[in-house]
Amino acid sequence: MHIHKYEKVWLTFGGAALFVFLLTLGISAFHMGMHPASSMETIDPKKVAETAPFNEPGVKKVDEDTYEVTMIAKAFAYTPNEIQVPVGKKVIFRVTSQDVVHSFTIVDTNVNMMVVPGNISEKEYTFKEPGNYLIICNEYCGAGHHYMKTEIEVVQ
């Protein structure tokens, strides 16, 4: 069978591109540990309020350099509504939903996760600058979707 020269070039290019994409995906997933923020842990959405740590949502100090923020998303607000974390410390956000799909998006950061009922979404972030950061929902969740927001205060 005769394969035209240009076709060979394109086959080689296509094969090489596929190899590079799969290699990049493999390195980021297995070596760097990147994964979607959702679906790592599950929770009964009807029992969120009595399941730890969501029975006491808020900020907890894990150690000198690590804080954990537990939040519940529900149409159309986040609980607790006001949180304060220190600048320059690792903050682990753990969020779940009590009703429908929401999101937990901190504006001007790379924290942007879907919050799916039945799943606990988790994301780490270290704030480099103090100030007030806006948290919004960017998954359409009902008539009050555009009111669904809160603020996080990052202090020295």
139 touches ligand CUA by CB under 6 A: yes
149 touches ligand CUA by CB under 6 A: no
Interface residue with ligand CUA, options 72, 91, 116, 137 (CB under 6 A)? 137
Kindly identify the residues of this chain, within the stretch 3-62, that bind ligand CUA according to CB under 6 A.
Answer: none
148 touches ligand CUA by CB under 6 A: yes
CB of 122 to ligand CUA, least distance (A): 18
CB of 98 to ligand CUA, least distance (A): 11
- Report the 3 state secondary structure along the chain: CCCCHHHHHHHHHHHHHHHHHHHHHHHHHHHCCCCCCCCCEECCHHHHHHCCCCCCCEEEEEECCEEEEEEEEECCEEECCEEEEECCCEEEEEEEECCCCEEEEECCCCCEEEECCCEEEEEEEECCCCEEEEEECCCCCCCCHHHCEEEEEEEC
In sequence order, the 6+-apart residues with CB closer than 8 A to the CB of 143 are: none
89 touches ligand CUA by CB under 6 A: no
Residue window 90-119: x/- pattern of binding to ligand CUA, with contact defined by CB under 6 A: ------------x-----------------
CB of 143 to ligand CUA, least distance (A): 10
**Applying CB under 6 A, which residues contact ligand CUA?**
76, 102, 137, 139-141, 145, 148
